[in-house]
Amino acid sequence: MANSDSANPFKAPEAFRAFFDMQGEAMREMVSGAMPGLKDGPDAAAAMQSFMPGDFTAADLADWTKASGELQKMWLEFAAFQAKKAAEKSTDGKYLLDPAQWLMISQSMVDQFPKGAFDAQAKLAQDSLALWKGVFERVVTSTTNGGKSNDEDGPALPIKDRRFSDPAWREHPAFALLHQTYLMLTEYFRQSVQSMNGLDKEKRKQLDFAVSALSEAMSPDNFLLTNPVVMKRTVETRGQNLVRGMQHLINDLKRGQLTHTDPDAFTLGENLAATPGKVVHETSLYQLVQYSPSTKEVLEVPLVIFPPWINRFYILDLTPKKSFIKWAVDQGLTVFVVSWKSADETMRDVVWDDYIRAQIEAIDHVRDRLKVPSVHAIGYCVAGTTLAATLAVLARRDEADKVKSATFFTAQVDFEKSGELKHFIDDGQLEMIGKLSPEGYLDGRYLAATFNALRGKDLIWNYVVNNYLLGEDYPAFDLLHWNGDVTNLPSKWHNDYLRDLYRDNKLVVPDALTADGTPIDLTKVETPSFVQAGKEDHIAPAESVWRLTDHFSGPLEFLLAGSGHIAGVVNPPAAGKYQYWVGDSDASSLKAYIESAEEHPGSWWPHWLEWLHKQDDKKVAATGKRKPGGRGDKVIEDAPGRYVKTR
């Protein structure tokens, strides 16, 4: 696969090669007209020379030579490493995933469309460049004359984009023209997708995503010789930024994944996932962690948290100031969390039924351990989707009273409007995912690349520029550390989930799906429920999460939180950030809910806790097995347990 042209993420589709060839031709024509001294267009060597200090010496040349030698040595060592892996027959993609692997998905989307689909638009775009020539001439004149044109950092330009906010992009006419032309053509092609005839709604969304992803990849700020900021840094450091960047790149190629944060800054159980507790139960699919109480009394009804198995559970137990788990413990809750096992070859036959059975088993284990009739349950993202199915199964079995209340963090059950992830779900993409899982599980790095692709500018190309080209050190950021701590998925379950829920939307069709021999009908669920959505969530859009209110039959409260899929959930009160809205949960639509809603500043966690107390406010002493690992209590190991540390 690695040797196939069709699998090369940098082999751009024909339309896009023409797209950027046209950009180059336009640049040469426009620059030669506006700047007679640069008849051949933006000359990288000349531009680089303009950054060089006037007193360049032989000693400086020696530094450059040293940097060049270091770069060559590092690359040769990496090539030797790659050859050794090949000799060991490990070139199946598991040890080396291209950090830009996700571009294969975008390319395959574009390749599904007729090759001539963009021809007319490309011709129109080329003709329209003439209209910009006069604008750019004024920019060039302003730059040449040192004019500012109402901008302290340089001449005002028609299109603004934070990728090109550094003054260096405006100080040299060639770079001003380059990035402005790129931005104009990118926008033009996106508009062309919207006006293209003969595309259904979903195909249009797919193509729009693919156009955006590929244009982001081809941005001039991603390359040394078209990025004046990188050129300046290279001159200032005598090439040492490129040496550091090369080491970063090689490290990422070896691990098969982009690095977003300092890999040595965090240790699980010490400064992440450090809330005290014990693993009190374990199966081949999950560990059950119980946290030690920090109050003398606790609510009688314990809380069981089901995090998504596509990520590590400690998104809810980051640093102590951000930890939802620690906060809940400090509010007097007996908290349990399920730590899912990262999939391996032994889990090739695991399906959704197994996760539903696991949720029921965890609920029963907590009930039996604490001798209580019911629990409060939280399901986050896909685990919330599964919790909805679990509640339906329990209702059909007349066991609904095992769950006193259910809370859903950014969880979907109706996938008609499920957002940008649907771009990756058609027959072609499902077939490709299947090919990536020959041993029965999907490597979590592929999934991480998919999620990164949804925010390519922020989670991919920003790091390519900062860490590979500028050679900057990685920050110590707990959320980014968690984001890069990937989890493998059972491929059979993953494909069924994408096909049955995302693509075919069967979960909201009564009895269209079964689990563990029991038909699933969400309308049977009467459990009191609390549904939280993120206003800016691109993974589980608020409108999609709202649909859950149409299917449950019991009392339900909906809450809209500020921010997105992660920050909208992980928003501790002490941070004083964002806001939330509370409105009429019986409204006919999300729009009607928002119109009725009142905005509140800060975290929504206290509001949820107040709702939880309304379900059952009885308290008991935090003694006996409420303190895991006490006298006579057999436990397995300290929190956070082995499963969350298994790679």
Catalytic residue IDs: 381
Helix or strand run (H / E) with residue 515: strand 514-515
Maximum distance among all Cα pairs of the chain, rounded to whole angstroms: 87
Task: Give the distance from CA 66 to its chain's centroid.
Answer: 39
Residue 273: burial class (beta carbons within 10 Å; 0-12, 13-18, 19+): buried
DSSP annotation of 116: G
Chain length of the chain: 647
Torsion on CA atoms 34, 36, 41, 43, rounded to nearest 10:
-130
Task: Give the distance from CA 255 to its chain's centroid.
Answer: 18
Give the other-Cβ count within 10 Å of 110's Cβ. Answer: 22
What is the Cα–Cα distance from 325 to 329, expressed in whole angstroms?
6
- Amino acid present at 342: S
Contact present, 278 and 637 (Cβ < 8 Å): yes
Nearest to 580 by CA among 614, 549, 610, 620: 610
Contact present, 510 and 387 (Cβ < 8 Å): no
Q: List all residues 6 or more positions away from 558 whose beta carbon is below 8 Å from its beta carbon.
A: 531, 532, 533, 546, 549, 583, 585, 593
3 state SS of 91: coil
For 474-512, the DSSP string reads PP--HHHHHHTS---EEHHHHHHIIIIIIIT--TTSTTS
The two tokens of residue 641 are 């347990």
Contact present, 303 and 530 (Cβ < 8 Å): no
Contact present, 349 and 605 (Cβ < 8 Å): no
Residue 74: burial class (beta carbons within 10 Å; 0-12, 13-18, 19+): middle
Contact present, 586 and 553 (Cβ < 8 Å): no
Q: List all residues 6 or more positions away from 365 whose beta carbon is below 8 Å from its beta carbon.
A: 281, 288
Residue 303, φ and ψ in degrees, nearest 5: -115, 125
- 């991603």: which residue's tokens? 222
The two tokens of residue 111 are 């390749």
What is the Cα–Cα distance from 176 to 153, expressed in whole angstroms?
13
